[in-house]
Structure 1
């Protein structure tokens, strides 16, 4: 079953009422319902024009990272290392745009965690990767055996440490042979997982069929409302993740000095680029699926306001360049982080409350109440 288990049962129950709680409680808001006729087309566009292309791009970037790492291992040099690092950054960008689809195949076989283990609150992943390197554990250089190891030792976090962490300068010579072969196994593993994602979504009678054909016999979506809820849930949980798991760990506000080493991809300098890609991915899904068509005609302005905040958040995230340590000590960049934090919260409200309410969710109900 491909259902996103993070969406609480109460959400489905809330949608079964044709009259939102806001109207029931005497609110001046008139009842709102999702434009059900638009749902199948919106879901099909989400699959065909965002999810499948996103995973296809991921397979291409994973294959490129694998090829670049193989060349580095065969002939270590500074240009070869720079190429491998650039390929890593490209792979992070591709993943950040599609990781928002955290359901279905992503939840099966621990694929999501195997691709990215984060947050690593107890430095579990770091310790395991360091142990592999210090012991020169040859089993970690065999892709089949690597897949059986901890998720923390086989994904993007592990690859980042190999390419950028303590001792990565050894990759400039044959001294780093083991380290490089471990990195090569990681890139092949990521390539395999990316292709599994793509194959699962491309299968005609698999999850894409469930998304495109809501109905009473569909084990995932019994009706159009459930399908629309799942799609909006991707956006809401995606923005919530950026707010709580990407920004808050290293920046909690103007009075917080900051914690740069808690930021995702801080070693490679990809923190803000990844966050910008997360939001770009969410906006791309919103746009290409034509999610505004789910709204009643008299509520279309909700989509416009969300679009405005989307653009503001993307622009600001992309405008905070350089290492995250510098951003936290630069007054101008800290102001930008404050703006980003504030507007991410605003975007969450516009999607969760405004958009959700406009398609029939009860007032006060929050997608973010899910675990």
Structure 2
């Protein structure tokens, strides 16, 4: 069943040519109903499956169960990657985005806190309540990645009750947050209404123009975050050495798959929303997406291998160039074609 569901999710991610929706209302409705809500539901489903995988691993530890839990982690993390650019409404409320993925983490806060919990083996520290009420750094995907792939993770295959229970508690927290996202986007008076039927009474989206600016901004800033927070920190560039262990998910070899998920999520939004009506611009954007995904396909090893191999390192630089093209095309040319203003950076506070 999981393989079937994964195949379906990959089929969905393979976005068709840009839809030719014409009115702002249709663009907004399609973004919510055809893209955001389904992606959030997929995240919730994958998170629930990860909980089940962790429960099975803790109940009957074995190499096969550890492999299944690791696969479940990958599917849940990549499902989040396809929707994490939607940083509005429920995802940014109650610190949910940081609780799901505390990144960037330049000081290694999450690693230190996870290692301290594992060393302490205090059962009271890993109850669902303590996890949820504690540091955001140990509530999400980064923490459970270390549990499943970090130093000592191989002991999970033969039985490591505390470590496994910790991972299970984190997975349950991820599942709970994903459920809150589903509920938030399903709320008939919530963010979905505000985006699809803007009103001067709303604090977030008062007009269709503001709503469209918001959507285009989410996509432009999503590309920016993928480039600046996921790619630039570890690649060799301008004479600076590569730093593969500063890459997100380097332990699980999901660095590049996560970048692909980020890019695919944004591509799907552009493809199904109908927000790109100019044929030449649509072709240029699709070409840039194609270049980005082709560059990722050329990176065949884990991140440590990739940065040391000239051909794969060149592919990473090509990916950088493609993301720069995408940010310009979406943040500048698409917004200009729609008469919008989406030029600022969401990452530097401007």
CA-based RMSD of the aligned residues comes to 1.6
Give the distance between the partners of 1:116 and 1:71, measured in 2 at CA: 24
**Which of 213, 228, 236 matches 1:244?**
228
TM-score by length of 2: 0.90
Give the distance between the partners of 2:252 and 2:125, measured in 1 at CA: 22
When Rg is computed on C-alpha atoms for both structures, the one with the higher figure is 1
In the alignment, is the contact (CA less than 8 A) between 1:236 and 1:367 conserved in 2? no
Give the distance between the partners of 1:239 and 1:213, measured in 2 at CA: 26
1:148 aligns with 2:133: yes
SS of equivalent to 1:258: coil
Deviation at 1:314?
A: 1.8
Give the distance between the partners of 2:219 and 2:190, measured in 1 at CA: 22
Correspondence for 1:108: 93
Q: What does the per-residue CA deviation read over 1:59-96, in whole Å, with 9 as the maximum and x for residues that have no partner? A: 11101111011110001110010000011111111010
**Which of 236, 259, 268 matches 1:275?**
259
Correspondence for 2:68: 83
SS of equivalent to 1:368: coil
What are structure 2's unaligned runs of at least 5 residues?
1-20
Deviation at 1:170?
A: 1.4
In the alignment, is the contact (CA less than 8 A) between 2:22 and 2:274 conserved in 1? no
In the alignment, is the contact (CA less than 8 A) between 1:276 and 1:317 conserved in 2? yes
Correspondence for 1:341: 320
Which stretch of structure 1 is more off in the superposition, 307-316 or 225-234? 307-316
In the alignment, is the contact (CA less than 8 A) between 1:254 and 1:334 conserved in 2? no
The 3 A distance-change label for structure 1 pair 188 and 136 is: same
Correspondence for 1:314: 293
**Equivalenced residues, count:** 328
Give the distance between the partners of 1:210 and 1:139, measured in 2 at CA: 41
Q: How does 1:352-371 map to 2 (within 5 A)?
A: 352-361=331-340, 366-368=343-345, 371=349
Correspondence for 1:5: none
Correspondence for 2:30: 45
Which stretch of structure 1 is more off in the superposition, 323-332 or 136-145? 136-145
TM-score by length of 1: 0.85
SS of equivalent to 1:292: coil
Give the distance between the partners of 1:182 and 1:300, measured in 2 at CA: 51
**Which of 166, 177, 190 matches 2:151?**
166
TM superposition outliers: structure 1 runs of 4+ over 4 Å: none
